[in-house]
Amino acid sequence: MSVAIIASFHIYHFVYKELSVDKFHEKRKDIYRVLETPPSSSYRNVQTPPPLGNYLKDILPEVIDFSRVVNNNAPINFIIDGKKIELDIIYVDASFFELFSFKFIKGSLHAFKENKNSIIISRRKARQLFGEEEAIGKIIESYNVVSSQQMEYTIAGIIEDIPENSTLQSDVLLNLKSHPLVSYTDTHEDKGWRTGFTDLYLYLPNAKDVNGITKKIEDLLFEKAKGNGSGDVDRNNYKYELQRLDTIYFNSFDISNQGKKGSLQFINILVLVGVLTLVLAIFNYVLMNLGLSINRTEEFKMRRYLGGSKLNIYLLLLFESFFNIVVCFILTLLTYPLISGIFRKLLTSNYEFSWYHDKALLSLFLFIILVIGSIIGTLEFILSYKSIFGAGRGKNKKWNSAWFSKKIIVGFQLVLLIGLLSSILLISKQVQYIQTKDLGFDKNVVFISPPGLDDVLLNELRSKSYINSLAIGDMLFNEKFNLEDVKIESSQGELKAMLIRGDTNYLDTYGLQLKLGRNIKSNKKPLFSNRFRVGWTPQKTDDLIEVLVNEEFVKKANLKKPLGMVFKSTNINNAVIVGVIKDVYNTPLHSPIYPMIIGYGFNNFPMQFLQVSFDKNRKDELIAFLSNLYIQNDITYDDSKKDEILYKVDYEDFYDLELQLKRLLEAFTVIVLFISLLGLVAISLFITESKTKEIGIRKVNGATIKEIMLMLNKDFIKWVAIAFVIACPISYYAMRKWLENFAYKTELSWWVFALAGLFTLVIALLTVSWQTYRAATRNPVESLRDE
């Protein structure tokens, strides 16, 4: 019972914290985040143009206020008292502190609003940076890579530490007006609409029809795009959603630039795990007590003879269960510091338990386990009722009257154990399939994007002997992607395809296999720049561009002879297919293979990444070269993070939920196995106690130890067989539904279920055999002397 309560408390603590995310904001039901929902994308986009907030506030009466947030993708180096310190920051409007419930401790919100180079920090960060010194008014410096400027910021305020159960996380908040792109778009509003990079939160306290407001926003932005002379504007590309603040956390799985997000599916699994653990523990606890209480039957009868009522005995059993359950609760609290780290790692959680802040959480859990205590006491009373109060002589008959209930309890835990074992085997099989799947390209390619070096870096790398191949282009593997509308000119066929920019060397760098035709070639040099240029507007060209397509493109476009075929797409005016490559799995295996186009020169927007294939044994040389190059060119560089110079896709990151589920079920299986073993000991104790005289009679009549053990164990074999028949269809259905999350998956092999059933049978027999052996070897005189 202690094991179950300890495990369930950690699960309960995590679930409680998860469900409370963003619930502390007083205006949470009136704040909505604006999401763009492109029709041909695998993701929703939270990044909106900077002028959008003011525009909507001026036109829509429902928008009372708004706040914008820019999550900086990388830490910024600040200089404080001559020391360089790297800090994670976000940019916010002054209205941020009026909409969200982040409490000011000291300072002036007015000063933050009026001075664009002001900064607000948390109490934790103030202590870390300045100790006991007054932080308000302190000036700190930073170098802004985007604007190439040295900036000075004045600390205008200190707020309480942002709670761990908040989707918005930062200890350092800068005034949004100091962001170089926002400063630029404030003075060039027409160009401000071209790039979206701010998260926009609208305050709609009087909104009665959120869908109606969403429709108004779509219409307004569509009409504005047409009015700006953007050419043919497709109304379907202007789809938006208003996401209420308290629903953001569990409804952002497809939003790439949100750091903190949760999974309701995982929460539901956790709750199920916790409930099943407790139910299993309750049943086995009752079984154990019933087995031990066989010898207490006479005690209960004596209490009856001395005037004890049924209520007295019920209260006695209730008190005993309450006492034991409270002991379990105390053990849970005492062991929390010792094992909390294990559970946090298992659940990938940073939530800490606090006696001060979590009083409500603790009180609710205590109430839950007291309810469990009352259930246990009541079950014990009901299942032992006839043995205590029933008429007739002989305890065996009386205890057998509740035998059906005990069979159900044993069967339940065996079904659960077989189901869990088969599920964990299948999940492990799918995870192994994911990890060993040949994706069809070189997964060891890294990409580099140092700011401001451009051709200098390109030429230096080409001269290195440890560089196998070097290409300018996008990453091949993408979790989030858009699909282009493609129209084949000759056949008038239409399809949607993924567009990947890559130069002539892209094919060799990634080791892509050419199935038909030749590689792309062009006299036009690929446009390459690591630095984003403010106000840069991409424009399509009418030049005929050579491209490669994959086999899926040819199949979906129904091209008999793809080479030489000309087509147009959303971002390409004129392209000709010169080669066909073999299909590759360049998205997570949840998604199917999509039609793909590889080429460059589609527009004048530069490619920002170098894709590098190199000798893995000489990685340190490459890192050392890049580090020196950064220092020589005065690029902000933190030597402690030199390994991050090379960006490499961690393909297992895209399957975090599956790996987390695997770890969780492995741990839960161990707990269930442990509790089940104790339950089997309890039921074997119950059986042997209830059949003591039968065993004695059989031995007197010449039965051997082997025959008696077979008689006692055959029931367990039968129970395992029945549990196997029940568990397999349930587990098969659940795993089939789970595997539907993947476009490419392993098979539901029969041996997985057979192995789970066989393991359960062996464990059950080994567990009960020592108890049945004791009963079979007991002197029959001991069991028959009272008859």
CA 600, CA 757: separation in Å to the nearest integer?
56
Task: Name which of 189, 198, 171 is nearest 33 in CA terms.
Answer: 198
How long is the chain?
787
CA 4, CA 15: separation in Å to the nearest integer?
16
CA 397, CA 399: separation in Å to the nearest integer?
6
CA 33, CA 245: separation in Å to the nearest integer?
7
Q: What angle do CA 453, 459, 464 make, to 5 degrees?
A: 115
Classify residue 75: in a domain, yes or no.
Answer: yes
Task: For residue 758, give every residue at least 6 positions away whose Cβ sits within 8 Å of its Cβ, in sequence order, or none.
Answer: none
Q: How many CA atoms lie within 13 A of 380 on its CB side?
A: 31
Classify residue 273: in a domain, yes or no.
Answer: no
CB 675 within 8 A of CB 8: no
Instruction: With a cut of 70, list the residues of the chain below it in pLDDT.
Output: 73-74, 143-149, 186-191, 228-233, 290-297, 387-406, 450-454, 529-540, 604-606, 633-644, 686-695, 698-701, 705, 712, 771-773, 775-776, 778-787
CB 466 within 8 A of CB 477: no
CA 544, CA 566: separation in Å to the nearest integer?
9
pLDDT in tens, 679-732: 777 777 766 666 666 667 766 667 776 777 777 677 778 888 998 999 999 999
Q: How many CA atoms lie within 13 A of 603 on its CB side?
A: 12
Classify residue 223: in a domain, yes or no.
Answer: yes
CA 164, CA 270: separation in Å to the nearest integer?
20
CA 126, CA 110: separation in Å to the nearest integer?
20
Where a domain ends, among 194, 221, 247?
Answer: 247
Cα maximum dimension of the chain: 106
Q: Which helix (H) or strand (E) is 48 found in, with range?
A: strand 47-48
CB neighbour class for 283 (10 Å; exposed up to 12, middle 13-18, buried from 19): buried
CA 103, CA 100: separation in Å to the nearest integer?
9
Classify residue 280: in a domain, yes or no.
Answer: no
CA 61, CA 206: separation in Å to the nearest integer?
9
CA 285, CA 327: separation in Å to the nearest integer?
14
CA 513, CA 463: separation in Å to the nearest integer?
26
CB neighbour class for 93 (10 Å; exposed up to 12, middle 13-18, buried from 19): buried
DSSP state of 778: S
CA 738, CA 42: separation in Å to the nearest integer?
20
The structure tokens listed for 710 are: 């077979």
pLDDT at residue number 730: 92
Where a domain ends, among 247, 268, 296?
Answer: 247
**Beta-strand runs (E) in 431-588:** 446-448, 467-472, 484-488, 494-501, 514-517, 545-550, 566-569, 572-581
CA 480, CA 471: separation in Å to the nearest integer?
21
**3-class DSSP assignment, residue 515:** strand
Radius of gyration (Cα) for the chain, nearest Å?
Answer: 34
Question: Is residue 90 left, alpha or beta, with left meaning phi > 0 and alpha meaning psi from -120 to 50?
Answer: beta
| Cα-to-chain-centroid distance, residue 644 | 23
Classify residue 738: in a domain, yes or no.
Answer: no
Range of the domain at 78: 24-247
Classify residue 398: in a domain, yes or no.
Answer: no
CA 172, CA 159: separation in Å to the nearest integer?
10
DSSP state of 654: G
The structure tokens listed for 699 are: 């031995």
Where a domain ends, among 648, 665, 691?
Answer: 648
Phi, psi of 578 (to 5 degrees): -110, -10
CA 334, CA 317: separation in Å to the nearest integer?
26
CA 501, CA 513: separation in Å to the nearest integer?
17
Residue 17 CB coordination number (10 Å): 20
Phi, psi of 133 (to 5 degrees): -70, 155
Alpha helices in 529-655 (DSSP H): 551-557, 619-632
CB neighbour class for 68 (10 Å; exposed up to 12, middle 13-18, buried from 19): buried
Q: CA–CA distance from 686 to each of 110, 295, 560, 722, 723 (Å)?
A: 74, 10, 74, 20, 20
The structure tokens listed for 495 are: 């399809």
CA 169, CA 87: separation in Å to the nearest integer?
13
Q: How many domains does the chain have?
A: 2
CB 280 within 8 A of CB 415: no
Classify residue 708: in a domain, yes or no.
Answer: no
CB 664 within 8 A of CB 672: no
Query: Both ends of the chain: CA-CA distance in Å?
Result: 37
Q: CA–CA distance from 18 to each of 252, 267, 351, 371, 509 (Å)?
A: 14, 8, 9, 24, 43
The structure tokens listed for 366 are: 């205590």
pLDDT in tens, 493-533: 789 999 999 999 999 999 999 999 999 987 777 777 655 55
Alpha helices in 633-704 (DSSP H): 656-690, 692-700
256-278 as b/e, with b when 16 or more CB fall inside 10 Å?
A: eebebebbeebbebbeebbebbb
Q: What is the dihedral of CA 524, 528, 532, 533, to 10 degrees?
A: -40
CA 718, CA 433: separation in Å to the nearest integer?
35
Classify residue 754: in a domain, yes or no.
Answer: no
